[in-house]
Chain A
Amino acid sequence: MTKSRLVMGPILFHWDENRKKDFYARIADEIDVDTVHVGEVVCAKRMPFFDKHLPDIIERLQNAGKEVVFSTLALVMNEREIAQLREIAEMPNLLIEANDISSIGLLSGRPHVVGPYINTYNESTLDYLISRGAHRVSLPWELPMSSIEALCNARKTAEIEVQIFGRVPLAISARCYSARAHGLHKDGCRYVCGEALDGMDVETLDHTPFLAVNGLQTLSSHYLELSTAVDDLKDAGVTAFRISPHTLDMVRVANLYRRLIDGETSSDEVRQSLLEMQNDLAFADGFLHSLPGADLRETLGSRAE
């Protein structure tokens, strides 16, 4: 059996330069991940803040032996954003992750990664994407296990990736909800999304945690946590496991999941360690089990020997 790939997804939130630089420096030096995503996925307005640092960061990560993937925007809405995509698609020696169909068109023939924002729901679509040069496909979050199994059976030479940790992106919009919550519009947003480092908490009127707003993106409040399913996912043929960056110590998080997918620790230990790091974390695994995505079927200790 080939060694499973541990993937650090792109930073979804509008962290400041120093936080991002520090994050990537620690990944380069301290974490045993195979693949690291860079690039802005949520909002084109954030790009000018960090683009200048990317060449150095990419080089440093590559020198540390990581595969670097350049993630692209999930929602592309105008000519300026298309022009940026074209530039990215022409960068040499770099894998690009397509997150909008426009990038699938631009990357055709060149090996690339298909991101989870692309609707890969069935075998025919997967087959088509592979024929266009996809060599890894990260599946949409709402797919149940039965779909993941069917897609793995149809994957041919491509790798199948599934996110196993972090808040789940649930929607993307032209409207900025961080700006709206501050009484602003997107065009004069003052980058208020940067105030919420893991997304702005959204509760129901009954004070039940529900969602998290990140500019144009809406995520789950609960953190996806699929450690209990990793063995089943591996058996199905999933070979790449994505963890999504948050403010908690991602070096520790990555090392936990590294040990988990290498079979050196248990899911209960993963959960307990995560709660030690942040005791108010709420977990969810519903999508995988054909339940509401916010549900948690595999609770702590439910798989204890």
Chain B
Amino acid sequence: MELVCPAGTPASLRAAVEAGADVVYCGFRDATNARNFPGLNFSRPELADAVTFAHRHGVHVYLACNTYPQAGCEDIWHKAVDDAVAIGVDAVILADIGLLRYARDKHPDARLHLSVQASASNEEAIRFYHREFGVRRVVLPRVLSLEEIRMLNRRISVETEVFAFGGMCVMAEGRCSLSSYATGESPNMNGVCSPAAHVHYEERGDSTVSRLGNFTINVYGNDEKVGYPTLCKGRFRAMDKAGYLFEEPTSLDVTAILPELADAGVTALKIEGRQRGKAYITQVVGAFRASLDRIANGQTGTRSNLAALSEGQADTTGAYRRSWQ
């Protein structure tokens, strides 16, 4: 399986290449990609240098242009696709139908991948994107079980890429407006979820309160580690009980089921985290490289040593195991 790794900066990209990535994915420094965070992402010249560097090491570069172009401003997204193709990236990752059609018409030879933000969760949807826009690979939404992925791969002709490690949306990606409900900014329109500019922490007696916009997302006792208030990982009250209604603050880690994913016909593994630093990238990419090499050599029994890097120091195989649902 191909190892697809994140890079939010040129330094992270070099770290990923050196740690054993097969592919590095990145985005331009604007709202055209789903990690539109301050201080992150690539200028055009930076991307050109990155592609030269990666290609010299036999590593591919994908450009994520996976937010939904705003009505009236589509030219910003068109330019991003044009520039990425001109720079010579190996694939462009897109979500929006209008943008897919633009890329297909303007750059018929470009390799197009379907972003997880398009939420193509079944064979008909995937066939549609393949037939209409020539999409060659689909990044599967994190709603499918291992068995559903296996069945899907038997019935479609395009490659599938699945999330392997890092932050995990519990909602279907690209179909979620929770962030904009609380803050006015969303993954689809602004490339951000639960953005830092709307985060506040308050001390209340012995507790620390984390807030997003006008809403309390969690309250931590002094014996608890304070986390970032990602909306769907918050503690809320329903039916007179307080708890993690949607999901605990956990991260995805598929190390334990790598052989099963390979057996299910998955082409590529994606590590989440373009917002992460260089050291994190080195460690996670290195660990996955080692696990994949062990499998390639016929060794079984992969286990992760990455728990310390996980959100809340807890990991999950998420929807891949049916019982999660």
Contacts and interface: CB of A to CB of B under 8 A. Distances in A.
Interface of A: 74-79, 81-82, 85, 100-106, 117, 119, 121-129, 140-143, 146-147, 150-151, 154, 168, 170-177, 180-182, 185-187, 200-208, 210-211, 213, 218, 220, 286-287, 290-295
B238 interface: yes
A168 B247 CA distance: 21
Contacts of B74: 122-124
A181 B239 CA distance: 8
Contacts of A291: 184
B70 A205 contact: no
A5 to B, nearest CB: 22
B58 interface: no
Contact of A142 (B189, B213, B236): B189
A79 B325 contact: no
B171 A171 contact: yes
Contact of A102 (B128, B171, B323): B128
- How large, as a class, is the contact surface on chain B? 35 or more
A238 to B, nearest CB: 14
Contact of B98 (A125, A168, A173, A175): A125
Contacts of B217: 204
A210 B232 CA distance: 12
Interface of B: 68-72, 74, 95-99, 101-102, 118-125, 127-129, 131, 143-144, 148, 151, 155, 170-172, 174-178, 180-184, 186, 188-189, 213-219, 232, 235-239, 241-242, 245-247, 319, 322-325
Contacts of A205: 216, 218-219, 235-237, 242
A102 B122 contact: yes
A162 B279 CA distance: 47
Given A124-B102, A146-B71, A213-B245, A77 B238 contact: no
A147 B325 contact: no
Nearest to A294: B181
Given A123-B98, A177-B245, A177-B246, A117 B121 contact: no
A202 B129 CA distance: 36
Contacts of B122: 76-79, 81-82, 100, 102
A147 B172 contact: no
B144 A203 contact: no
Contacts of B120: 101
Given A124-B74, A181-B238, A205-B237, A171 B178 contact: yes
26 contacts: A74-B175, A76-B122, A79-B151, A119-B68, A119-B96, A123-B74, A124-B74, A124-B98, A124-B101, A125-B68, A146-B71, A171-B171, A175-B324, A185-B323, A186-B325, A202-B237, A203-B238, A205-B216, A206-B216, A208-B216, A218-B178, A290-B184, A292-B183, A292-B214, A293-B184, A295-B184
